Amino acid sequence: MTTSLTGRSFNSVLDFSSEEIMTVLKTAMALRKGDAPFGAAPLANKTLAMIFQKPSLRTRVSFETGMTKLGGHAIYLAPTDISIGKRETTEDIALVLSRYVDVIMARVFGHDIVEDLATHATVPVINGLSDFEHPCQILADLQTVLERKGHLDGINACYIGDGNNVAHSLMFGAARMGMNMTIICPKGFEPKAEVTKQAAAIGAETGAKITITPELSATEGADMLYADVWASMGQESEAAERRKVFEPYRIDAETMKRADDDAVILHCLPAHYGDEIDYDTSRLPNAAIFDQAENRMHAQSALILHLLQ
């Protein structure tokens, strides 16, 4: 079956089927190898508008560089350029940008913003991050595991930390692709109940087991270990208190003793070494953190290629 993603938006991992996700991942891996599956300069005369409410290193550079490498152009719109919902309505911003550009990416706080953009825009909208999901990150994560392990189905993955937007998208992505995902977090910091319920239901169809537990022993035999910061952007005032609660929830030498010998170590960055992961562990041969960061560019470029083909 030919998969067509042309003209669609990507605001949640669940917007794509497992087959469609795999289509994007295969293109991303080809791009990383230096192949040109869509020919030379496939995004010539194409423009990406990048709306930012939050600062970024990887999101801005990966999207902008990816567009440039494929012959396109990206425009950075800072929080001072577009005050969403204040200076102009989200609807008007979406309608205006649709007259200028071919695709819109938004890195925002409220998930409702990317949903509103997608509702009103006449071009594809990509969720570059919201407080509810981080779907582009998970495309890069899946690509990295696929490159390291050769498959996704049946992988036993563990995420250690806060049940945040990354955890939500990881659960959805794992469920779609038949990966077993265990979210290990302190009580009171679990992912949203509706996410757990939805991911578990999808997993029941694909063979993926979705588990939520406070027990660190759940890393026993894990094929993948994933860490994220204990306090996300916008939670800085909670950082000191969260550090007390999350102190045991880290990837370190003890964690690695329980996991499989060649367990892939991932972190979506930025990392706070000594908190959720220690520096030495992050530099082990099976740590793929910087492959993962590079794959943001390849996965997002592949995504845009399919949305605009």
Q: Of 78, 72, 114, nearest to 94 (Cα)?
A: 114
Task: Give the active site residue among 228, 250, 275, 306.
Answer: 228
What are φ and ψ of residue 234, in 5° steps? 100, -10
- State the catalytic residue, choosing from 162, 268, 292, 298: 268
In this structure, the strands spanning 125-129 and 156-160 are unpaired
- Residue 296 among the catalytic residues: yes
Strand order in the sheet with 73-77: 73-77, 47-52, 103-107, 125-129
CA angle 290, 279, 266 (to 5 degrees): 40
Catalytic residue among 107, 111, 168, 267: 107
Look up 87 and say whether it is catalytic: no
How far is 248 from 69, CA to CA, in rounded Å? 42
Q: Is the peptide bond before 270 cis (omega within 30 degrees of 0)?
A: yes
Catalytic residue among 148, 296, 298, 306: 296
Q: What angle is formed at CA 286 by the lines to CA 64 and CA 134, rounded to 5 degrees?
A: 40
| Mode of pairing for the β-strands spanning 210-213 and 180-184 | parallel
Strands 156-160 and 224-227: parallel
- Rounded Cα distance between 224 and 254, Å, is 15
Q: Which of 32, 58, 111, 134 is catalytic?
A: 134
Give the tokens for residue 238. Answer: 């909670």
Active site residue 268: yes
Between CA 139 and CA 14 the distance in angstroms is 12
- What is the distance between the alpha carbons of residues 47 and 44, in angstroms, rounded to a whole number? 9
Asked about 58 being catalytic, the answer comes back as no
Write down the catalytic residue from 137, 143, 292, 300.
137
For this structure, is 198 an active site residue? Answer: no
- Owner of token pair 């909670």: 238
Active site residues: 107, 134, 137, 228, 268, 296
